[in-house]
Amino acid sequence: MNQEISEIYTEEFFVNMGPQHPSTHGVLRLLLKMDGEVVLDMVPHVGYLHRSMEKIAENRTYYQYIPYTDRIDYVSAMFCNQAFCMAMEKLANVPVPERAEYIRIIMVELNRIASHLIWLGTFSLDLGAITPFLYCFREREKILDLFEMVCGQRMTFNYMRVGGVSRDITPEFIPMAKEFIKYFLPRVDEYEDILTNNPIFLSRTKGVGLLDQKTAIENGVTGPSLRGTGLKCDLRKDEPYSVYDKFNFDIPTGETSDVWDRYMVRIQEMRESAKIVLQALESLPEGPIKTKISAVFKPPAGEVYLRIEAPRGEMGFYIVSDGSPKPYRLKIRTGSFSNLTVLPIISRGWKIADVVAIFGSLDVVLPEVDR
């Protein structure tokens, strides 16, 4: 007996995390090389949700593909709609009426809040705080009600069209949206009361998962995760698309680039988005909501790459058109795809429980990675 015990020794071992794991929010498999509880190396395996979006696009007309874009990232479907339609407008030079641009911005910014709410809820749930999860979904429900009022859908909207939006907002929408913003801003303070200075939350997030700016840019990290490293970069300000140049808002950035900073950036972004929505609602111009274009949409032959600032970083569409009603080639660039590549680098040396916090702080949505 004693001899057997003396033969036990410590060694490095592998742990398989996923594909079905409560903290991956989708289907992601992480292969971890462990030394006790410390992660030495990690290999992410993706592709479980690969739906061949890019091949499908080559086999559909441009109009038929708009509902598919909803499914790229169902948490922030308005952004996928907007990016795709804007790429088409750029390629075919279709003007968008001003009212449509304003409505788009109201919708995407509400969607950004909804997306960050999901992130905040699930992220805090991963760290063991259940209350914020319930609070976040309570507020998100109100945003989904607003979306339902406008386009009849709660998740996959199919709302935007090439040259505008599919239908005008109803008269009841504006007071309801204003009321929501008034209700929502104190709620953000409430989340902060629960989390921001909570000692347990701080010990799980402060100084954990440091992502330095150089590594982030090298690996193509964008969005709030990059702003968490202190870089002031936001496509809405860097190259203002749509009518973002008419609104007054700030770009929150972090300082120490840890998990807590990425959390703080998103919390503040929700406030900024609420600010934009309120400004857009107040200055919403009258007029048409859609430019009339032909029933079969044939953009001229050419190539376009257009990107927008989605909640998870840059979302871009690279489209090659050969002048036919179907795209010749369509490539979707998503924020999560590049943001996930950095996970092994920033997880090394942390405990396995921290991997959950670090992964949560990157806000990766798996269908967006696999497409």
Partner 1 sequence: MTSEEIKKIVTEKFPDKLKEAKIFGFEPTFIVEKDSLLDVCLFVKESKELAFDLLSCMSGADYPDRFEMVYLLFSFSRKHKMSLKVQLPKDNPEVESATAVWKGADWYEREIAELFGIKFKNHPDLRPLLLPEDWNEGYPLRKDWTGKDFLKMPDVK
Residues at the site binding partner 1, with contacts judged by CB under 8 A: 46-47, 50, 52, 54-55, 59-61, 87, 90-91, 217-220, 222, 231, 233, 238-239, 296, 302-307, 314, 316, 318, 320, 324-326, 328-329, 331, 333, 337-338, 341, 370-371
Which of 135/359 has CB closer to partner 1? Answer: 359
What's the closest the beta carbon of residue 333 comes to partner 1, in angstroms? Answer: 4
Pairs from 4-12 (Cβ < 8 Å, separation ≥ 24): 10/36, 12/40
Which of 128/302 has CB closer to partner 1? Answer: 302
What's the closest the beta carbon of residue 214 comes to partner 1, in angstroms? Answer: 9
What's the closest the beta carbon of residue 211 comes to partner 1, in angstroms? Answer: 13
Instruction: For residue 25, give both structure tokens.
Output: 């929010």
Which of 130/301 has CB closer to partner 1? Answer: 301
What's the closest the beta carbon of residue 328 comes to partner 1, in angstroms? Answer: 8
Which of 139/261 has CB closer to partner 1? Answer: 261
What's the closest the beta carbon of residue 185 comes to partner 1, in angstroms? Answer: 31
Which of 52/170 has CB closer to partner 1? Answer: 52
Residue 292 neighbours by CB distance under 10 Å: 8
Which of 122/336 has CB closer to partner 1? Answer: 336
**Which residue shows structure tokens 């109803």?**
170
Residue 169 neighbours by CB distance under 10 Å: 22
What's the closest the beta carbon of residue 20 comes to partner 1, in angstroms? Answer: 17
